[in-house]
Amino acid sequence: MPENPLLQTFATPVYQRVLPGTETVNKGLRELILNCMPADWQPSRSVMGGWHSGLDFFNWGGQDVAQLTHWVQQGVGEMSRECLRGKLEGAEVTLFGWANVLFDGGYNKVHDHGEYTWSGVYYVDKGEAGDDPNNGILEFIDPRSGVAEAMKKVVRIQPTAGGLVIFPGWLKHYVLPYRGSDPRISVAFNVKILLKAGAAATA
């Protein structure tokens, strides 16, 4: 009989890591993103009180974008090898991303990226932290339908410069209002993994 009879089932994986040595790259990314933001920007999609670039960020060019692309690919690889064991050989992987800039009072509405395998965010500049621990945090909604209120779990991630977060695209999430005079800058991304025929059945 097992020592611990409690079996934790249907876990939802969330990858979180603060990468070392990101200061120089973040400085370059911050300058690039702010310079590319149009003066007449408008809120778009789920971003309120902030700017959302086009979906071609990883094609912007330059060594800083190339380095971030490498970091994201490494993280996605780790996540995929852990969660999709035996299914990755011959899979087709597509990655695209976009820059986000939040200003004082900006937030992201509840949404998901359900058609993608993984979604994620890299924090270039966390802006001002302030005294409020909930300032501009990323929050995930418990995906278990009908779960008892006492069993619901709240997962919150505090933005940190150099922080990389990856999660299933179907997992609903949002960003609480950010308060600060400096912009909060991040790069979000989606990953679609198309498995080769029969991979799911044989894994």
Q: 49-66: per-residue pLDDT in tens? A: 899 999 999 999 999 999
Within a domain: 49 = no
pLDDT, residue 199, reads 56
Long-range CB pairs of 144-151 (<8 Å, 24+ gap) are 144/10
Beta 138-140 vs 173-175: how paired, if at all? antiparallel
Domain presence at residue 161: yes
Query: With the C-alpha atoms ordered 69, 72, 78, 79, is the resulting torsion angle positive or negative?
Result: negative
- Rounded Cα distance between 167 and 157, Å, is 12
On whether the CB atoms of residues 46 and 102 are closer than 8 A, the answer is: no
Residue 93: domain span: 15-35+54-195
**Mean pLDDT value across residues 169-176:** 96
CA 5/CA 180 separation, integer angstroms: 48
Give the confidence band of 90 by pLDDT, cuts at 50, 70, 90.
confident
pLDDT at 107: 92
The pLDDT assigned to 1 comes to: 54
Does 47 reside within a domain?
no
**What pLDDT shows up at residue 119?**
98
Report yes or no on 40 lying in a domain: no
Give the mean model confidence (pLDDT) for residues 176-202: 84
Domain count across the chain: 1
Instruction: For the chain, give the number of residues.
Output: 203
- The single-letter DSSP state of residue 171 is S
Does residue 200 register a pLDDT over 70? no
**What are the respective helix, strand and coil percentages of the chain, to the nearest 5?**
20, 35, 45
**pTM as predicted:** 0.92
Domain harbouring 75, CATH code: 2.60.120.620
41 falls within a domain: no
Q: Residue 85 falls within a domain, yes or no?
A: yes
Average pLDDT, the chain: 90
Q: Quick one: tokens of 146?
A: 């009908």
Q: What is the mean pLDDT of residues 157-163?
A: 95
pLDDT-derived band at 10, boundaries 50, 70, 90: confident
What is the band of 30 on the pLDDT scale with cuts at 50, 70, 90? very high
pLDDT at residue number 124: 98
Distance CA(21)–CA(67), nearest Å, equals 11
